[in-house]
Amino acid sequence: MADETNRALYRTAIYSNDYYDFIIDYRGGYPREDTACFQKVSDRFDVVCYGRSASPEMSLETYPYAIIPKCYAPADQTALETGGILRLQNPAGLDLTGQGVLVGFLDTGIEYTHPAFRYADGSTRIAAIWDQTAKNGEPPEGFSYGTFYGRKTIDAALASENPAALVPTVDEYGHGTFLAGVACGSADAAADFTGAAPMAELLVVKCKEAKPYLREYYFVPEDVPCYQENDLMLALSWLLHMADRLQKPLAVCIGMGTAMGNHAGEDAFSAFCDEVGRQRQRVVVTCAGNEANARHHYFRSGLAENDTEAVEIFVGQGVTGFSMECWAAVPEIYRVTILSPTGERFAAVGGMAGSQSHRFLFEQTTVTVEYVVSGFGLGSQLICLRFFAPWPGIWTVELTAALAIEGAFHCWLPQTGLMSGEVFFLQPDPDTMILSPGMSASAVSAGACHTAGGGIWADSGRGYSVSGTVKPDVLAPGVNVYGPGLRGGYTVRTGTSVSAALTAGGCALILQWAVLRQGMAWLNSTDLSNLLIRGAVRSADRIYPNRAYGYGQLDVYGALEALRV
């Protein structure tokens, strides 16, 4: 397909609910499609669109689990001193402000007119914005949709009486604005505020929200902000492209996450984050998520063959539907039986592949059970259950080990905020609740602690990953943190996305010192993670690494001191 024709078709398809979006992983040497409408993410990944009218209905029986985009949501609900950052900004110390470093955000956008994103002369500190939602402007070079706003255009808008006439992008939710400000907002003495890297340049992606068909497939309410995995991957690809073009170090802040997947870092976005993080002068910072107290994880091990484990799920009033994923490492095989609140049983035929549906008579609830094998590394068995109009009460999912080696399995429910009501396990396990892409091996994963005292925030996602990777790496302040809000003001937010923003700002300071001042051009995300781990503050009465605390509390100054040892 000719490039121009492909770009025009993709630009139409990516906004249209009449097209399915799929993430294609070419690992293994498969040839790229030459007829499909696609957008290249990297040498490994493409996003491909197919017309729904000519395609089978969305299900795991017809499409591999790995290619269906997951839905991500923002992870949020005087921090600089606690993170060891003010000591680096202080002229009597290292006088680090992030100057010469790029900090990238893929989020809900940015209020670019806010004083926190301007130099003292009023000009912008934003190098570029890609608004994926803006359909009528010119897309970024190499990309097929959205609108690109460069520094000159943003400065012209700021100098005009009506900035929105030239740069109409807005942040409806304020999440992206807040994270950008916390990471690298300009100093504002009147508001008693400064970001972690107040002289770094910003790259911003306003991500397009998920299509209606994908919301319907995952039971996500219409009024909940959520974002497709493929758009986030393309956002990260653009940030990388811009950093290469500007020839500057880049720290990326990812303040979104999803509870979908096997929590082993094998999903497409986690794999791409790992790919980017291994490049020179590129650092990826992710959030651990806010699910430790959500009761959305169940774990059991030690089952013998033919043993059965009863997993009880509470479903509250008004839940329109929800999905549940059960994962076990191959070669183990599990069968499923579902017991309704009134006692009706449905035994789904087990195996490595297949799909069944059952409608419960009294509850008028339909449940589908799909068996698939997914994942390149661990080769996990996935059993996906989808509950349509679930009757309130206690539902029981019985998992029977048809073939057991370790006799272990995990179950996860979607993260808080992506469901229409209350759903949780009656006997949950609080561990293994880091959201994707927080299990990415090379990325820095940040959990949240209180600014005063450094105690862990109760909702901060706990590790480790299913593959045993220690996550989170560190904790950073994430409770009642002060930062830029909408309409030029300031506000307070809580969540691990805030911790990720502070950590990303701290990484920008390290990049400034190590790469720009010391010539350590080889530094990447893995190196930064190791530095932060070495410099982290650890309590004498706690064993590290720790599922909740990782390797300790963020101390950027301590990380640089570790380089002198």
CB atoms within 10 A of CB 486: 15
The pLDDT assigned to 115 comes to 95
Q: Which of 114, 120, 113 is nearest to 166 (CA)?
A: 113
Q: Which of 20, 200, 177, 223 is nearest to 102 (CA)?
A: 200
CB 365 within 8 Å of CB 385? no
527 phi, psi to nearest 5 deg = -65, -45
Instruction: Indicate the angle between helix axes 268-277 and 525-535, nearest 10 degrees.
Output: 80
Q: Hey, what are 515's tokens?
A: 């790469």
Q: What is the pLDDT of residues 254-274, one digit of tens each?
A: 999 999 998 998 899 999 999
Distance CA 105, CA 26 (A): 26
Query: What is the residue-wise DSSP string for 400-446?
Result: EEEE-SS--EEEE-PPTTSSSS-EEESS---SS-PPBTTT-SSSEEE
Distance CA 431, CA 420 (A): 24
Q: Which of 253, 240, 91, 233 is nearest to 176 (CA)?
A: 253
The helix (H) or strand (E) run that includes residue 478 is none
The pLDDT assigned to 55 comes to 86
Question: Which residue type does 328 have?
Answer: A
Q: Hey, what are 418's tokens?
A: 């992506």
Instruction: Indicate the angle between helix axes 229-246 and 268-277, nearest 10 degrees.
Output: 10
CB 319 within 8 Å of CB 386? no
Pairing mode of beta strands 282-287, 250-254: parallel
CA–CA–CA angle 186, 76, 45 (5° rounding) = 90
The pLDDT assigned to 80 comes to 47
Distance CA 283, CA 505 (A): 11
Q: What is the pLDDT of residues 32-70, one digit of tens each?
A: 655 568 889 998 999 999 899 888 888 888 888 888 999
The pLDDT assigned to 33 comes to 58
The rounded radius of gyration (Å) of the Cα atoms in the chain is 23
Burial of 317 (0-12, 13-18, 19+ CB in 10 A): exposed
Question: Which residue type does 184 have?
Answer: C
Distance CA 290, CA 410 (A): 19
Please report, for residues 26, 225, 313, the alpha-carbon distance to residue 262 in angstroms, rounded to integers and kept in the order given.
20, 23, 19
CB 60 within 8 Å of CB 462? no
Pick out the chain residues at pLDDT < 70. Answer: 1-2, 28-36, 76-93, 350-352, 374-379, 564-565
The helix (H) or strand (E) run that includes residue 229 is helix 229-246
